[in-house]
Amino acid sequence: MHTHKVKAFGTEAPENDLELITIERREIQPKDVEIDIMYCGVCHSDLHTARNDWGGSVYPAVPGHEIVGRITGVGSEVTKFKVGDLAAVGCMVDSCRTCSSCAQDLEQFCENGFTGTYNGKDKYIDNQRTYGGYSESVVVDEHFVLHVPENLDLAAVAPLLCAGITTWSPLKHWNVNENSKVAVVGLGGLGHMAIKLAKGLGAHVSLFSRSAGKTDDAKKLGADQVIISTDEEEMKAALNKFDLIIDTVPYEHDINPYMNTLTVNGTLVLVGFIGEFENDSVSTKPMIYKRRSVAGSLIGGIKETQEMLDFCGEKNIVSDIEIIKMQDINEAYERMLKSDVKYRFVIDMKSLKD
């Protein structure tokens, strides 16, 4: 496979900072498009991968899966895009395309494993992992490339590609509509998109937060109510209220108090913490006594991602962002760990050319 070199920001080890490195991108294949990356959002998963929080990170690691840019090249069999089009890439760049999940437009559940936009096994370049959007350009099969609504602010669209779809998919799966009462746990990148999208679908939306200082912001984002999760009285007042809770907290935490705020048949969907509950055991009582469920959800399929982007175009929904330079990424990670971001960092990739 012929390749060419591009500039990127990556890390060589979990304890290292990210720094300027050079990576290989494949030459455009018949179904590929090449995208000049303009903006890339900063997801908490980028930090988990850079620091090997989940195990399994391979180095060098180049994160970034909230990619927006412009098409600079198309392969001979490409039909969806032409040079000059806006384009976006989210968390996946490939899957088997034949298994029953892929056949149902659920590539995120590909039975043969989808290829992550970063830290996935590259199917084209031997012994290489995929490298994400903290880079000048990327080459992707057009099936995994999305159209960007022309009316939206491009930098603020980037976070829709992960934070947006990850919260949209459960909202749709659990049929959220004007009659739904939804609550969101944690006001970060995913949490703030969950509020905007649930509101966009007409639901009544509440936020559970540890941070009293976020109340005004949450209301500006569309929340009807904010419940401080450390306040026992406020938690008691919320018992049996919500049809659906989207829990975006990235680390192990006690979900039992939230379970009791679900209605009969209500569901708490975990999208944040990926791992085992080791310290906080989960009681079956709230489930058994009110037929409630605990579920999980992973990003969303490509078709659903396009539907989400089109919905955001119609309703003028984008992320609240703080634009940073590529060179500021290490400081941005530290701030993200302190929940000090409103509400998503987006890298202006022009800065990588400096």
Chain positions contacting ligand NAP, by CB under 6 A = 43-45, 48, 162-163, 166, 186-191, 209-211, 214, 248-251, 253, 271-272, 297-299, 336, 339
| Strand ranges, E, within 178-223 | 181-185, 204-209
d(C-alpha 186, C-alpha 305), whole Å: 22
Residues comprising the chain, all counted: 354
Ranked by CB distance to ligand NAP, the top (closest) residue is 188
- The helix/strand/coil state of 293 is strand
> Can you name the residues that pair with 7 across neighbouring β-strands?
22
According to CB under 5 A, which residues from 158 to 217 bind Zn ion?
Answer: 162
Of the pair 137, 229, the CB lying nearest ligand NAP is at: 229
Of the pair 336, 352, the CB lying nearest ligand NAP is at: 336
Of the pair 43, 203, the CB lying nearest ligand NAP is at: 43
Bin 42: left if φ > 0, else alpha if -120 < ψ < 50, else beta: beta
CB 28 within 8 A of CB 139: yes
In whole angstroms, how close is the CB of 298 to ligand NAP at the nearest point? 4
Which among 23-31, 54-62, 101-109, 280-288 is the span making contact with Zn ion, rule CB under 5 A? 101-109
Of the pair 99, 282, the CB lying nearest Zn ion is at: 99
Of the pair 9, 124, the CB lying nearest ligand NAP is at: 9
User: Is residue 6 exposed (0-12), middle (13-18) or buried (19+ Cβ within 10 Å)?
Assistant: middle
Which among 4-12, 156-164, 309-317, 321-329 is the span making contact with Zn ion, rule CB under 5 A? 156-164
Which among 4-12, 35-43, 250-258, 324-332 is the span making contact with Zn ion, rule CB under 5 A? 35-43
Of the pair 187, 346, the CB lying nearest ligand NAP is at: 187
Which among 56-64, 92-100, 309-317, 337-345 is the span making contact with Zn ion, rule CB under 5 A? 92-100
Ranked by CB distance to Zn ion, the top (closest) residue is 43
Q: Which of 90, 85, 82, 98 is nearest to 64 (CA)?
A: 90
d(C-alpha 241, C-alpha 225), whole Å: 12
| Strand ranges, E, within the chain | 3-10, 19-26, 32-41, 67-74, 86-89, 92-94, 115-116, 137-141, 181-185, 204-209, 225-228, 242-247, 262-270, 293-296, 321-325, 344-348
- Is residue 45 at the binding interface for Zn ion, with CB under 5 A as the rule? yes
In whole angstroms, how close is the CB of 168 to Zn ion at the nearest point? 13
Where does this chain bind Zn ion (CB under 5 A)?
43, 45, 95-96, 99, 102, 110, 162
